[in-house]
Structure 1
Amino acid sequence: MTRWSLMNKGSGNMNEKKEKIINTAIDLFAKKGFYTTSIQEIAESSDVSKGAFYLHFHSKDELLLEIFKYYYELMNQKIQDAEDLNKTPKENLIRQLEVQYEEILKHKSFIMTQLREQAITLNKDLYDFLRYKEIEFHKWYERVLVSVYGERVDPYTVDIVVLFEGMKNSLLQLLIQETVEVEPHRAATYLVERLDVLVNQILEAKEEPLITKEQMQKSYASISSPKEQIVHEVNEELIRMQEVIAKLDVTEDKKEELQGVIDFLTSEIKKETPKKFVIQGMLANVKGIPELDKHRKWISQKLDVRLL
């Protein structure tokens, strides 16, 4: 089985069943495609029931989003681990680019399948997530450029990143499609040598930047962070819980009590730093109500909160 273990060091805390479903889906999507792989197939190949699948993911689209989150966590961690304080910033950049190529090429079948089927562009949450990661990588490149070439390069970092990413991604596309074969270390070294030429030419020209940081910030202003996406998704789930509560065969006092729990949770998740023990306690208040159980479990998974 292909194993992508990824970015926020958070994958180590992931529920074992959820991680197995993700890894299984990666293999199935790579072999069969996203649209032709059924949830039933994913569940059976993961040795879980279809009901257990839905405790972790509402749909295949949500699963695909989680796969990419998982992948980016792994990629981020590997890039961080590749940094060696005993090496120069430029040597570290070469190694970090090499790692990016290695990881992407390991999973080129999966990536090619997604691009071919356009599953990414048809999934708005995934598209927004990838755009946000694009911003993060852009900022990372800006920091690296300053560490390699000094503060004088700072006004031109956006121009340089755009041009450098164009070279890097064009070469990567050829490698993924197996149009050419180039060893990752050689590719990374070659790209950084071209980067040297590019930076020197831009600094010598002393022209005004084509694209400023301010312009880039404006273009990214409408893109929400993964944290904001999670809050939005949990909020939608709480709305669904309200609809279920309204139809419960219980007293009006009980409905009002349960509605109070939903209101409290809605308020808590929107805080800058939600308290897990508070969320845990609130979810415990709806325990024992079968109609709400799947919603309670889904929210606990999404917010990484252990159920009482």
Structure 2
Amino acid sequence: MSKKQLIMDSALDLFAKQGFEATSVQQITDYCGISKGAFYLSFKSKDELIIALIDHFMEAFISDIDYIVKTTNNEELLYSFYYTNLQSFHKHSDFGKIFIKEQTHSLNQDLLGRIRYYNALMDSTILLMVERLYGEEITHIKYDLMYCIKSFVTMYSELFLFNNVVSLDLDLDLLAHSLVEKTNLLAKHTSIPFLTKEIIQVVSQTTDDKVKREQLLELLEQNIKEMDEPIIKESLILLKQQLLNPNLSPAIVAGLLENIQKNPHCKWVSYLLRHYFQI
């Protein structure tokens, strides 16, 4: 394990128990048995470490959910969405506690801005799913339904994260099916909308999430240098060439994205490229 990963793992344990604000750099270095100097070789500040943790988990989480929404057939989509969300919070319970608590307790504006950024990405993914599943029939209530779906995930995750339920053998399959039923009932019977596009735009207030080609090229180059698996590396190289000189069909690009999606280190670049190429 690298020193940077050791620091992140140790800090995650402390943050889950004490929160961001109550945990000092000294406590983190004592916990993982390194000097402050070693800490600052990896991270410039505690805030930078916190952002790195948020990015590490949320990039993988968002890319997985987005992939499910764009590739799963309609009959299984809503169940797969709920099950994957709940399983992820259950598996990464320490991070889940931090992510939920800090949205309401933190005074760190940079951190809150980062959390809002990922929340906005999740909103757009859920909205896409809602439009796919229910079509024009729910146009008038789609934003309310989007928030209900998001709230189901948050509320039920909080149930087993903050009430010692996480240690039990939870039937996530049953819970996912239950939430599918509730969502379908809401989609069918809700008739009084509240949320509008204008309200959603005001609530989001995030920076533009479109990534420029130059940023993608830089990220691809970094992944290419770090990758050892031949098929993944070749796929990354071809995707980089596609950015520089587009000549591949959408089907081939989709296949290349499918290749790199399977690698945990390439999930985020896969997500960004899917949006860039609109696949």
TM-score range, shorter chain: 0.5 to 0.7
- Aligned partners of 1:43 and 1:49 also within 8 Å: yes
Give the match's secondary structure for 2:179: helix
- Tell me the amino acid that sits aligned with residue 10 of structure 2: T
Over aligned residue pairs, what C-alpha RMSD do you find? 3.5
Query: Which position in structure 2 is the counterpart of 1:159?
Result: 144
Identical-pair percentage:
29
Equivalent residue in structure 2 for 1:211, among 195, 205, 214: 195
CA distance in 2, matches of 1:210, 1:119: 23
Secondary structure of 2:106's aligned partner = coil
Contact 2:62 2:122 survives alignment (8 Å):
no
Mapped partners of 1:45, 1:84: distance in 2: 41
Alignment pair present for 1:64 and 2:50: yes
Larger radius of gyration: 1
Pair 149,126 (structure 1): closer, same or farther in 2 beyond 3 Å: same
Q: Once the 2 structures are TM-superposed, how far is the Cα of residue 97 of structure 1 from its aligned partner? A: 1.6
- Number of the residue aligned with 1:304: none
CA contact (8 A) 1:95 1:185 kept: no
Aligned to 1:224, the other structure's residue is in SS state coil
Long gaps (5+) in structure 1 = 2-15, 229-270, 277-308
* Residues 150 and 188 of structure 1: CA distance in aligned 2, closer, same or farther (over 3 Å): same
**Structure 2 unmatched runs, 5+:** 219-279
Aligned 8 A contact 2:120 2:204 in 1: yes
Q: Which of the residues 209, 220, 232 maps onto 2:204?
A: 220
What secondary structure is seen at the aligned counterpart in 2 of 1:30?
Answer: helix
Query: How many aligned positions are there?
Result: 214
Residue type of the partner of 1:224?
A: T
SS at match of 1:150: helix
Secondary structure (helix, strand or coil) at the match of 1:122 reads: coil
Cα 1:19–1:81 change in 2 (3 A) is: farther
Once the two structures are superposed, the pairs formed by residues 159-308 of structure 1 within 5 Å of their partners are 159-178=144-163, 182-202=170-190, 205=191, 209-221=193-205, 223-224=206-207, 273=214
Does the CA contact (< 8 Å) of 2:29 and 2:39 recur in 1? yes
Q: Taking structure 1 as reference, are residues 147 and 219 closer, same or farther at Cα in structure 2, changes over 3 Å only?
A: same
Mapped to 2, the partners of 1:152 and 1:67 lie a distance apart of 40
SS of structure 2 residue aligned to 1:58? coil
Bigger fraction of residues in helix: 2
Which residue of 2 is the match for residue 142 of structure 1?
127
TM-score normalized by structure 1?
0.58
Q: CA deviation at 1:119?
A: 8.5
1:80 deviates by 4.5
Equivalent residues of 2:62, 2:121 under 8 A apart: no
Structure number with greater CO (CA < 8 Å, separation at least 6) is: 2
Query: What is the alpha-carbon distance in structure 2 between the residues aligned to residue 19 and residue 95 of structure 1?
Result: 30
Q: Taking structure 1 as reference, are residues 119 and 195 closer, same or farther at Cα in structure 2, changes over 3 Å only?
A: closer
Kept in 1, the 8 Å contact 2:26–2:36? The answer is: yes
